[in-house]
C-alpha cells in the first residue's frame, strides 16, 4: 500500500487539554504536509461530535478521518502520541494515547489504508512500541512496515 508517512507527519509526547485539541494537532500535520485542506480537520471533529467516539477503535487508539470530499488531497497518515491520555467519551476504550489521522482520496484507498493499519497494529508488540516511542523515526519505522 502506498501512502505518505514521514517524520514531519509525527509528533510525540504532546500535551493536550482534550480530544478536540489532539485531533486538531493530528489534522494540522496533514494540512502542513499538503495531504488535506483545513476543512478536513473540522470535518474529522464534527463527525465525532455527530456520530460519537466510534473512531476510538481499541484501548489507547483513535483513528480520526473524514470523507475524501471533505478536503482530502492525498493518501496518508499523521500520528500524534500524547504525554497524558485523553477521553473521547468511549465507554470501553478510553482514554486514548495514540491518534492516527488518516486521509484517503477514495473508498478503495480508505479501505486499503485501514486494512494496513489493522495488520500492523494487531501485533501487540508493534502497538506497545508505538505507545512508548519517543521519536518520529521509531513511529515511521513501525507504521511503514508492510505486513
Q: Is the dihedral of CA 65, 36, 87, 109 positive or negative?
A: positive
β-strands 60-62, 96-103 pairing: parallel
Residues catalogued as catalytic: 65
DSSP string, 35-65: SB-HHHHHHHHHHHHHH-STTEEETEEE--B
- What spatial distance separates the first Cα and last Cα of the chain, rounded to whole Å? 10
Amino acid at each position: 500500500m502506498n501512502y505518505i508517512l514521514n517524520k514531519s507527519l509525527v509528533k510525540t509526547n504532546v500535551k493536550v487539554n482534550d480530544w478536540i485539541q489532539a485531533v486538531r494537532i493530528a489534522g494540522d500535520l496533514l494540512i502542513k504536509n499538503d495531504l488535506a485542506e483545513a476543512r478536513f480537520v473540522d470535518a474529522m471533529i464534527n463527525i465525532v461530535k455527530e456520530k460519537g467516539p466510534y473512531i476510538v477503535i481499541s484501548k489507547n487508539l483513535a483513528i480520526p478521518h473524514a470523507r475524501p470530499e471533505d478536503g482530502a488531497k492525498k493518501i496518508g497518515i499523521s500520528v500524534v502520541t500524547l504525554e497524558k491520555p485523553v477521553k473521547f467519551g468511549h465507554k470501553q476504550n478510553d482514554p486514548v494515547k495514540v491518534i492516527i489521522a488518516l486521509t484517503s482520496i477514495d473508498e478503495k484507498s480508505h479501505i486499503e489504508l485501514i486494512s494496513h493499519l489493522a495488520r500492523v497494529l494487531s501485533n501487540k508488540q508493534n502497538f506497545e512500541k508505538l505507545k512508548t516511542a519517543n521519536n518520529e523515526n521509531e513511529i515511521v519505522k513501525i507504521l511503514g512496515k508492510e505486513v
